[in-house]
């Protein structure tokens, strides 16, 4: 099993990287508790204010980047309550090898972390069911799954363990810091962003993840030919996504406008609920140009 490898030298910010913009958290509902993993259950009571949930460092940190990175408008808030015993147990046992705190202080050796597999970054995975399904369907591709939702992190690690999915790693914290400080240029084989928070009120549109500044940064971390796949059920946000992605000169649209849902993206429970309500889900598939 691969250890959690980051280099010891600080990763300097790339000169071609723009200022950071917010990340987002998908709006999937909390899944039912997964079956116990067999070990003694760990108390899942929420810690008192100011107390870390994992004081021994065996789980995700509450604020991994701390105060050494800039303060800015963000579209997420860490949600660390209602962690079930099985989720907490999975975090404590698997975080050392399959988890990563996004502290922005060192660069990740993706080859070592994923045993040489090509790596796709998924930003916002909810409870992780769709991520686990995609990992099972494509075991030769590594998935670096980034989120700040502690129950979802534990649930995904539990799913990976029970299903023998050695190609999943969980990153805890701000995806912008991950992209800018901890990933090398042209190191990713793909980027997935499914059902990010649409921030529907106009005054909150600045909090949306898909913005020109975000794409200008993210595309520097994509290898030529890397696939960018976004999906949303919020029509105005879908239109914005299409406009912003189409305007990014390093990307090309694989379809005329929106794309049909590809078979490799599972139909999530959240998506099914939206479809039952008459929502229209839009997929967007773009590819990183060779030059």
Residues annotated in a binding site for S-adenosyl-L-methionine: 122, 147, 174, 197
Helices and strands (DSSP H and E) totals, the chain: 8, 8
- Please tell me the total number of residues recorded for the chain in this structure: 291
Dihedral pair phi/psi, residue 103, rounded to 5°: -100, -10
Alpha carbons 291 and 250: distance in angstroms, whole number: 7
Bridge partner list, 101 = 172
Binding residue ranges: 122, 147, 174, 197, 201, 233, 268-271
Cβ contact 209:20 at 8 Å: no
Helices (H), the chain: 85-98, 110-113, 129-137, 150-162, 175-177, 212-218, 235-247, 269-276
Catalytic residue among 197, 263, 276, 283: 197
Distance CA 38, CA 223 (A): 40
Q: Is 263 among the catalytic positions?
A: no
> Residue 64: how many CA atoms within 13 Å on its side-chain side?
27
How far apart are alpha carbons 257 and 206 in whole angstroms? 23
Q: Which residues are annotated as a binding site for substrate?
A: 201, 233, 268-271
Q: What amino acid positions are annotated as catalytic residues? A: 197
């Amino acid at each position: 099993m691969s250890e959690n490898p980051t280099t010891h030298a600080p990763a300097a910010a790339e000169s071609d990287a723009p200022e950071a913009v917010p990340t987002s958290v998908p709006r999937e509902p909390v899944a039912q508790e997964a079956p116990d993993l067999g070990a003694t259950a760990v108390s899942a009571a929420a810690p008192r204010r100011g107390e870390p949930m994992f004081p021994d460092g065996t789980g995700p940190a509450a604020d991994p980047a701390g105060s050494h990175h800039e303060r800015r408008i963000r579209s997420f808030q860490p949600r660390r309550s209602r962690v079930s015993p099985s989720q907490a147990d999975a975090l404590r046992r698997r975080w050392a090898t399959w988890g990563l705190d996004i502290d922005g202080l060192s660069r990740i050796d993706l080859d070592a972390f994923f045993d040489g597999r090509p790596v796709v970054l998924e930003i916002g995975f909810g409870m992780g069911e769709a991520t686990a399904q995609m990992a099972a369907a494509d075991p030769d591709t590594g998935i670096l799954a980034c989120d700040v939702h502690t129950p979802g992190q534990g649930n995904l690690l539990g799913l990976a363990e029970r299903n023998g999915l050695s190609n999943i790693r969980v990153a805890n914290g701000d995806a912008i810091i991950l992209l800018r400080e901890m990933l090398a240029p042209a190191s990713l084989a793909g980027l997935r962003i499914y059902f990010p928070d649409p921030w529907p009120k106009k005054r909150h549109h600045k909090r949306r993840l898909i913005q020109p500044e975000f794409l200008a940064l993210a595309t520097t971390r994509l290898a030529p030919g890397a696939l960018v796949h976004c999906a949303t059920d919020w029509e105005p946000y879908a239109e914005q996504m299409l406009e912003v992605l189409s305007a990014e000169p390093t990307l090309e649209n694989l379809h005329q406008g929106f794309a049909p849902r590809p078979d490799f993206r599972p139909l999530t429970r959240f998506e099914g609920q939206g479809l039952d309500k008459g929502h229209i889900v839009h997929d967007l598939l773009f590819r990183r140009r060779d030059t």
